[in-house]
């Protein structure tokens, strides 16, 4: 059974009760906060393995909570899963760029929320991958040292930046990267990387991967990810 300590932040009591019930069933130790101010106080005074943070809070909203957490050395490493209402795409992007790890839209399935929490904790618990280690995912093999890619055993000729984008997504399958994050993490000598050109790189990458290109998914209004399962 899991024994991680979680902090759930939401101003709706029925949602707190629902989430607490399902997470307790999974064996998590659950603490709750009904405001951003209370969430910050708890996060700074106790150790939590993850925070589930509603963005629409009275007073200090969830984005400001995330901003303060990520700006504080004591809480910077705390993983955050955001809860958002449908249509808040701009807030999702802002939250991810502040350093949140994932998001779930309301109304949500408790089982999906639990799965997302489990996935974030699992990813955070993994050791930092060797940047030169061979990557194999869903039939795509990436050799960072040789800068070679094969798909179903066949070599694929990628530009420097396409290779960087593919490697970035493949190292964190299921992890959503915003365009700005890709710009920050990818440095291309053959192509000027900007928010707009990321879309161009993705189009070219999908085309060269052929039928495997569908593994590179668009998360509407947010960014891109490598599918977690084939």
Task: Evaluate whether 5-125 and 135-226 have a shared fold.
Answer: no
pLDDT, tens digit, 9 for 90 and up, residues 58-115 = 899 999 999 999 888 788 889 999 998 866 778 888 888 888 888 998 888 999 999 9
Reduce the secondary structure of the chain to three states and give it as a string. Answer: CCCCEEEEECCCHHHHHHHHHHHHHCCCEEEEECCHHHHHHHHHHCCCCEEEEECCCCCCCHHHHHHHHHCCCCCCCCCEEEEEECCCHHHHHHHHHHCCCEEEEECCCHHHHHHHHHHHHHHHHCCCCCCCCCEEECCEEEECCCCEEEECCEEECCCHHHHHHHHHHHHCCCCCEEHHHHHHHCCCCCCCCCHHHHHHHHHHHHHHHHHHHHHEEEECCCEEEECCCC
Domain boundaries, the chain: 5-125, 135-226
CATH topology of domain 135-226: Arc Repressor Mutant, subunit A (1.10.10)
pLDDT, tens digit, 9 for 90 and up, residues 9-67 = 999 999 999 999 999 998 899 999 999 999 999 999 888 999 999 999 989 999 999 99
CATH topology of domain 5-125: Rossmann fold (3.40.50)
pLDDT, tens digit, 9 for 90 and up, residues 115-169 = 989 888 887 664 444 556 788 999 999 988 778 999 999 999 998 888 989 998 9
């Amino acid at each position: 059974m899991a024994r991680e300590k979680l902090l759930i932040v939401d101003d709706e009591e029925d949602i707190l009760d629902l989430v607490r019930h399902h997470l307790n069933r999974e064996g998590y130790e659950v603490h709750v906060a009904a405001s951003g101010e209370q969430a910050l106080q708890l996060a700074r005074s106790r150790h939590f393995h993850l925070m589930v943070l509603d963005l629409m809070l009275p007073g200090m909203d969830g984005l400001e909570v995330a901003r303060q957490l990520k700006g504080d050395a004591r809480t910077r490493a705390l993983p955050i899963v955001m809860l958002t209402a449908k249509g808040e795409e701009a807030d999702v992007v802002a939250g991810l760029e502040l350093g949140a790890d994932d998001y779930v839209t309301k109304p949500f399935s408790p089982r999906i929320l639990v799965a997302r929490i489990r996935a974030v904790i699992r990813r955070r618990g993994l050791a930092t991958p060797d940047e030169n280690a061979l990557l194999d995912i869903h039939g795509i093999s990436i050799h960072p040292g040789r800068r070679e890619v094969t798909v179903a055993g066949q070599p694929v000729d990628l530009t420097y930046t396409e290779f960087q984008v593919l490697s970035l997504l493949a190292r964190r399958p299921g992890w959503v990267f915003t365009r700005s994050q890709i710009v920050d993490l990818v440095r291309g000598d053959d192509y000027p990387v900007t928010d707009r050109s990321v879309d161009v790189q993705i189009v070219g990458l999908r085309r060269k991967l052929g039928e495997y290109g569908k593994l590179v998914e668009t998360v509407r209004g947010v960014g891109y990810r490598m599918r977690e399962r084939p």
